[in-house]
Chains A and B, each alone.
Chain A
Amino acid sequence: MKGWLLRFLYYALPTLALAVIVLAMNAGPLLKRPLGPQEDLPAQLKQVADLALSGRWEEARQGQDRLAQTWVKVKGRLRFSSTTDEIEVFDLLMAELQAAVEGRDQVLLRSAHLRMESLWQDLGS
């Protein structure tokens, strides 16, 4: 019985290890999912853009603050399955969005919004 178990483990352990590694490397789409309404980054981004484009800049600024906090949380989970460049570009786009809201620049805000949406699709996938 012990010999059978050891033989089973001899094959099962490496197989299990490889399965875990493959899953870990492809877990990006899963880890991108919000763990609660506070972490729904695409929805928050859309909200900021909608508020800014309708001229409600003060509410857009508050939404942008929440978005920045959410990004800090999500970024940690996505680092493993994304490249450093992707994370840094998203960081820069967050800064660009903040600048657009503070400067009340709808063109810059639209540009940052669309680029962030596009990059979000690719992040971790």
Chain B
Amino acid sequence: MGEATVVAVRAVLTFITLLIFTRLSGKTQIAQLTFFEWVTGITIGSIGGVLSTDLSIRPWPVFVGLAVWVVLVILTQYVAMKSRWTGKMLDGEPVVVVQNGQILEKCLGRIRMRVGELNSLLREKDVFDISTVEVAVLEPHGKLSVLLRSQERPVTPKDLNIPTSYEGLGVELVVDGEVMMQNLRRMGLNQAWLRERLQEQGLSGPAEAFLAVIDTQGRIYVDGYADHVPPSENMGDYPGPN
């Protein structure tokens, strides 16, 4: 077994290990991570890199290190979930940075945030005038939550006393040409009904549909494999593949 083969085997094992460990650690989106969790993720990733390619260290001690980091992360999450005080200590607290259009400089200083950064975060929230902000809160995972003054918020159907109906989530009936039988049964529908609906949309059957979704009103959205995009919609500006 040559060095390249050893690295290849280690890479496969590390890949599987990291896949399992990251699933165990629970968080699914980087946006949900606090700074500490983000740093922890980088550390776990770099230990994984060592496990995969550093042949000057035996794999087992590195694997133990990786496992201990993941166990500590899970333990921390568990403790933070069970104890509110520990959760606040580990993750930090949301910090109010703007109140009634006023920037709270002391709070900004406490989290070491520059006013330029605050302005940037506000602009990301489509806020270009700080005086329109009622409250802006910096969340522990680094995102800014903004509540505009009531007179600045968009009008909703409720404000206008317009009745609306429940929309809920759409249910996928066909994905990539394959009928989702479980969803079809759950909706009390059958394949003959689905075929009829697809034929109404100009498709011969599910095999021609890339996606078919039904909403709670019974409306169907169908996207076929055949796309009819006019050449003027082509965004490419060079003759190569787009």
Contact = CB atoms under 8 A, between A and B. Distances in A.
Interface of A: 14, 17-18, 21-22, 24-26, 76-77, 79-85
Contacts of B16: 17, 21
B30 interface: no
Contact of A24 (B13, B23, B57): B13
If over half of A's interface residues share one DSSP class (helix, strand or loop), that class is named, otherwise mixed; here it is helix
A21 B48 CA distance: 14
A76 B6 CA distance: 10
B20 A14 contact: yes
Nearest to A75: B1
Given A14-B20, A21-B13, A21-B16, A81 B1 contact: no
Given A80-B1, A80-B6, A18 B17 contact: yes
Interface in B188-226: none
B237 interface: no
Contact of B55 (A21, A25, A76, A84): A84
A24 B12 CA distance: 12
Nearest to B51: A25
Nearest to B58: A83
27 contacts: A14-B23, A17-B16, A17-B20, A18-B17, A18-B20, A21-B13, A21-B16, A21-B17, A22-B63, A24-B13, A25-B13, A25-B63, A26-B60, A76-B1, A77-B1, A79-B1, A80-B1, A80-B6, A80-B9, A80-B10, A81-B59, A82-B58, A83-B55, A83-B57, A83-B58, A84-B55, A84-B56
Interface of B: 1-3, 5-6, 9-10, 13, 16-17, 20, 23, 55-60, 63
If over half of B's interface residues share one DSSP class (helix, strand or loop), that class is named, otherwise mixed; here it is helix
Nearest to A84: B55
**Which 7 A-B pairs rank lowest in CB-CB distance, beginning with the nearest?**
A84-B55, A25-B60, A79-B1, A76-B1, A14-B20, A25-B59, A21-B13
A7 to B, nearest CB: 15
A79 B17 contact: no
A17 B13 CA distance: 9
A83 to B, nearest CB: 5
Contacts of A80: 1, 6, 9-10, 59
B68 to A, nearest CB: 14
A26 B59 CA distance: 9
Contacts of A76: 1
